[in-house]
Structure formats: structure tokens, C-alpha cells
Structure 1
Amino acid sequence: MTRKAELEAVCAAIGQAGKGITACDEGPGTIGMRFENVGVTNTEENRRAYRQMLFETPGANKYLSAAILDPETLYQKSTTNGKLFPEVLSELGIVPGVKPHLKVYALPGQSGATVMQGLDSLAVRLQEYKDAGCKFAKWRSPLEIDLATGQPSELTIETNMKDLARYALICQDVGLVPIVEPDISLKGDHDLETAVRVNVKVQSMLFKSMLDHGVYMEGALLKSNMVNPGKKCKTNYTVDELAIANLQVFRRCFPTAMVSANFLSGGQSLEDAAARLDAINKHKSAKDPWNLSFSWSAALQMPLFELCRGKTELPLKEMGDLYIAELEKAGAAALGQYSRNGKEGDHSAK
């Protein structure tokens, strides 16, 4: 099989209808804060046991096509069979991948806007992760809409999107599928029309940069924010208006060569994220060829952590039961078959 065919095969495996990605790539410090917030001690064993539950809960692989791992998790083993987690995932039919980027730093003169570190040493690290069993990698470029400071500026957008393109090219050179993640925050008070305009600007720069760099588009995937007004926006929008806005952005920018977009949750509750993903899929038409699914972290995990409050040990069975119920909602939304309650997914003025 040629390199391009290998990349396409991984994209097809991740982009299966009705399945999505569990994003559990938080570093030890980030997941540690989530643990400590509910009274769980942040030890490597607790992190390992928790992630084993995310992978091995019976039935999870019915809804999961892939898992994004922190590098620490690549070298941890399942207590079920003593195998390393990338092998465990592969045997379950879940494609293992990794988060290879490092930390963000502020761009000088850009009102706090940031860019991600890690390109210089990327190829060496990616080869190590591929040798450990990974099939893809994910790189996140966080952005915020702040009309008062003119962000994201042309410089902020261009710097971040060209870095994503360089990352994608390095991934494919090593033999890994790149997932590119432009992440426009829900922070702010901007309206939906502004969100559409900025998302179009960001994604058009991303895909042009990928093409300019020679990225094989059929061998890459998108993980983007859902197009939403800022959390403090004073205008009400229905879930259907949000869905149409998301499809407008994709129809204007998203190459048909790329088979799947897996939305991040980005501070949305599971119910809002599911209702919005469901509405997007319900509004899809024959001219929208992509698989549109989920790649959620906090939306799935935060309710699981709440089950830990007041307990001395991780309630893994209870967490696994809730996790499956959550994945059922996510899987249904990825097919446009989620039944929302009340005003789930609507944006209500705060």
C-alpha cells in the first residue's frame, strides 16, 4: 500500500458514520486539576486507570473510531491483558493517535493572541509516537474573537494556520494522518454573523496554507470548533440557526477531498454539543459530502469527574456506565438521530 493509500485508509477508519473521537490528551497537569477539583489524588496510576475505563468500557468501541492520547498514555499498560494502550485500542477497532504539540506562547504586539510551540522537534517526536503505535496526530491552534483589540488579526491567523500546515506536512512525511484543529473560543460577546465571518477567514487561510505546503488533503482530517456566537452575546439563536451557520462555513471553505470533520466541544455541555451536532447533520444535504462527528473531551469527561466527589477511589464501574450513556448521545448526534429536550442547543442571551 502506498503512503497516500495508508493515510486515506486511516482517515476512512476515523471518519466512520456514527462514530467519533474520544479526546483524552490532557497532560498530567491539566487532568490533575480536574481530579483535584473533585478530591481525587493526581497520581500516574489514577490517570492510567481512568483512561483504561475510557477505552475498555464494554460497548465504547461501538461509538468510538479513534482516541487522542497524551504521550504519557502511549507507554502505559492495561491491567486487563498487560498490553500497551495503543495496542489495546487497535484491537478494539479504535485508531490510536497522539497530541504532539507543546505549549502556547504570546505573539508580541498581538494583545495576548498566541501561537503553539513544537514544530522544530516535531519530526523526531512523531517518529517515536508512530513507533509506539500511533496512526495520527492532532495539533491545536487556539484563537479568540475580540473585536475591541482586532483579534484574531491577519498576523495571528496567518501565523497559526501556516504552522498547522507545516505540522500537517511533517505528519504525512512521517506517515501519520494530521488532524488540524483551529479552535476559536466561545469567549466574547460577538454575534453569530461575526462568528461566521471569522471562521470563514480562519478556515480559508488554513486550507490554502495546507494546499500551498503540498499537504495531501485526502490524507488529513479537521477538528474544528462549532460556529457559535460568543457566550455573552445578547442575541438569541435557535439550534437550527447555529447548524445552518456551521454548514455555511464548511460549504464556503472545507475541501471535499477531506472526508471528516470532528467538532470539539469547547466549553459546551454534552447536551448542547449533541443537540448542535445533531442539527448540523439534520440540515446536511446531498451537496455536503463530509462525515460530521465529534471529538469531545470536557463534554464527555466533566460529568464523569463529578461522580468522584466525596469518594476515596475512582468509581470506575459507575463512570463507565455514564460514559456509555454519553457516547450513545454523541453517536446518535453524529447520525442526526439525537432527540433533544426543550431548548438544548439554542443560544440564549446571558
Structure 2
Amino acid sequence: MTSYGQELRSTALAMVARGKGLLAIDESNGTCNKRFKKLDIPATEENRRAYRELILTTPHLADYINGLILYDETIRQMTKEGTPFVQIIKNAGMIPGIKLDTGAKDLAGHQGEKVTEGLDLLRDRIAEYYEMGARFAKWRAVLTIGDKAPSDACIEANAHALARYAALCQEGGLVPIVEPEVLIDGEHTLERCYQVTDKTLHSVFCQLYSQGVEFEQMVLKPNMVLAGQECSQQSTPDAVAETTVKCLLKNVPAAVSGVAFLSGGQSSEKASAHLSLMNERFGDQCPWPLTFSYGRAIQQPALDHWRGDSHQVSEAQQRLLHRAKCNSLASLGKYSSTMDRERDRP
């Protein structure tokens, strides 16, 4: 255990505290600009800052959100009045986090497969972010399902990088969010997604163990087990809930502080419905809380409404808060799609 052991354990438990989850606003500048472009929002640093301020200053956000994952640009920014974003988060009683990976790059010798990079100088970066107020971090690995993919080499390379990142985080005082994402892209079936997710999680936890990562001081951010978006036979919500929990129970040690799902391209409503069903049917069988660490599934309705217009900030914040509340209820097994239908009524 590192010298930060007790602090890390307390932070990890606070990140997955009952009835709340995490909000990811850690899109790279390039990704954020692409989303702006789709809505004809000028892709400027000021617009990115204003959008993140809209999110962070949403009244009562801390009622449903435990922590926020930031990007390097965002953790250094301030409100228009000059208050650092990190201070805004702390003042609201939430925890600041930081994305540490530098993106998925082509894996040599394995066409179409990716390995996530960013280990170079990571110890120094962790020390800087800790000094700036971050108390947890995120690293995302991406695995694509294809005819012969993902290869063992791809799974192992990403699992090893995740484990080295997690060990460095715990050494430097940050709780690592370990995010191995089996992508929803493709024609694969639910069963095929289960096989790949099962193999991936097994490899990840073997590597975490080998690198001496303390499971009590980390949070897992996995994909749900879903049929691919182009699959002709889409999964029922019951099948998603049952298969996902089965995969987790088989592979995730009970000592892990919590499981905070990624939304992975699901619609906002499906991401809430699947999480709620898992908690409703299987929550009492799981040794860890099942909650959310969503980005688009919470942000998108707010971004669609805001579109860079300062006059729309208040309504956009209400839409953001609505999605945060829906997912808070889902983490308790109490979400219903009627909540969205009622909000959408004129």
C-alpha cells in the first residue's frame, strides 16, 4: 500500500457513493470541436470554456454527481469571474478528476487495432495534477470486435498499459479509473460481446494484480455487454442487464470499490434504463455499487439546446440536471422511461 492508501480508499468510496455517479467532461479539444461543428458552434477555446462553465455551475449538480473527469485544458480554466474550475467543483462538494491517457494509436503489426498511449512522463504529470487538486484519474483502452479482433496481443497490450497507469496513479495519490471499453461498433451479437468483454476483464485484472494495484483504491469503468449497433438482432434490456452482471461477477474482484459504467454510444434513455434494470434485478447480488460515469449520455441534451447561445444557459443546465437525476435514480434501480416522456411533453 502506498503512503496515500487511506486517502485513496476514502476517495474511491466517495466517487461511487450511493445514489450518485461521475460525469465525464474530458473530451479532447479535437473531439469537443467536432461536436461543436455538428451544431454550428464556433470551435474556439472560449466556447469550450463557456460550455464547461455551463456544466460545472449547474445548480444542484452535486445532488446527483460525485465527481467530474476533466481534460488538461479544462482543469486549468476558470469561470468568467475568475474562479478556477477545480475550486468550483470542490466548493460544490464534488471531486475533480483528470483524463491521463493521450489517446488510442495504431498497434504495430495489428491492422485496425489500437493501443492507448501516455505512459511517458506520467509520474510527473500525476504529481502536477495532484498539486492542482485532482484526486482521481481516467485511462481508456478501446477494443474493436471484428472477424479476428480483438487479438490477444491487443487485449494484453492494453491491459498492461492500464495496469501500469493504475499503479502510477496510486503511487502519486490519484484513484485510477480503469476503463477497458469493448466498442459498440459492428455487427457482433450479444454473445460475442460477452466473450470479448469476459476475456478483456480477465486480462485486465491479471495485469492489475501483477503490477501490485490495490483493488480497494480503484474504480472500474467497463462497457455494458451489448449487441453491436449494426447487429440485426438487438439485445433486450433484460438480456443486457443479466449478461453484463454475469460477466462482472465472473471477473471483477469483490474488493474493487465500485463499477461505474461508460455509456459507450447508447442513447441517454437506454444508458439509464440498462443501469436501472441491473440495480433493480441484481444490485443485492453484487459486492460493489453499480453506477455511472457517463459523458454524452448526460451532456448531449444540454449541448443540443445551448448551441453556444448565452441566453440558453439556464434551460441547458436544467436538461443536464434532468439527465443527471435520471442516472442517479438508475443507480438505485428506480429510473423509469416515463420520467423522460413527462419532461418531453409540451
8 Å contact from structure 2 (residues 76, 85) kept in 1? yes
Q: Which residue in the other structure is 2:90 paired with? A: 90
Aligned equivalent of 1:181 = 179
The answer (yes or no) to whether the contact 2:101–2:139 under 8 Å persists in 1 is yes
1:116 aligns with 116
Deviations 1:191-247 (A, max 9, x none): 111111111100011011001110111101111111111112222432011100010
- List structure 1 runs of 4+ shifted beyond 4 angstroms: 311-314
Q: 1:325 aligns to what?
A: 322
Contact kept? 1:40, 1:314, Cα under 8 Å? no
Q: Give the whole-Å Cα distance in 2 for the aligned partners of 1:191 and 1:341.
A: 29
Give the RMSD, CA atoms, in angstroms.
1.8
Partner of 1:348: none
The equivalent residue for 2:56 is 55
Deviations 1:26-81, CA, capped at 9 Å, x for gaps? 1222111111211211222221121122112111110000100001111111235x
Q: What are the within-5 Å matches in structure 2 for residues 72-151 of structure 1?
A: 72-79=73-80, 82-146=82-146, 148=147, 150-151=148-149
* Pairwise CA distance, 1:265: 0.9
Range 122-131 or range 284-293, more displaced: 284-293
Task: Please tell me whether the aligned partners of residues 62 and 93 of structure 2 are also in contact (alpha carbons under 8 angstroms).
Answer: yes
The AA in structure 2 aligned to 1:306 is D
Per the TM alignment, residue 159 of structure 1 is displaced from its structure 2 partner at its CA by 0.4
**Is 2:231 the counterpart of 1:230?**
no
Task: Report the structure, 1 or 2, having the larger helix content.
Answer: 2
**Shift, 1:314, TM fit:** 6.4
Q: In structure 1, what is the equivalent of residue 22 of structure 2?
A: 21
Name the counterpart of 1:347.
Answer: none
Does the 8 Å contact 1:46/1:314 carry over to 2?
A: no
Q: 1:234 to 1:334 in 2, by over 3 A?
A: same
Pair 1:298-2:296 in alignment? yes
Distance in 1 (alpha carbons) for counterparts of 2:76 and 2:57 = 16
Measured in 2, the distance between the counterparts of 1:30 and 1:141 equals 16
SS at match of 1:230: coil
Aligned match of 2:281: 283
Query: 2:173 and 2:252 mapped to 1: Cα distance?
Result: 23
Determine the C-alpha separation between the residues in 1 that align with 2:214 and 2:78: 34
Counterparts of 1:262 and 1:314, CA distance in 2:
33
Deviations 1:143-170 (A, max 9, x none): 1111x2x111110000000110000001
Q: Does 1:198 align with 2:188?
A: no
> What fraction of aligned residue pairs are identical, expressed as a percent?
37
**Is the CA contact 1:105–1:114 (under 8 Å) kept in the aligned structure 2?**
yes
Distance 1:71 1:328 in 2: 27
CA distance in 1: counterparts of 2:233 and 2:290, whole angstroms: 26
Gap runs ≥5 in structure 1: 345-350
CA distance in 2, matches of 1:99, 1:56: 20
Aligned equivalents of 1:279, 1:286: Cα separation in 2: 12
Residue 335 of structure 2: aligned partner: 338
| Partner Cα separation in structure 1 for residue 239 and residue 338 of structure 2 | 17
> CA separation in 1, counterparts of 2:337 and 2:179?
27
Pairwise CA distance, 1:312: 5.0
Matched AA of 1:318: E
1:326 alignment partner AA? R
| Partner Cα distance (1:103, 1:252) in 2 | 29
Which is worse superposed, 317-326 or 37-46?
37-46
The one-letter code matched in structure 1 to 2:200 is V
Could you tell me which runs of 5 or more consecutive residues in structure 2 were left unpaired when the two chains were aligned: 342-346
- Of 271, 274, 277, the residue aligned with 2:272 is 274
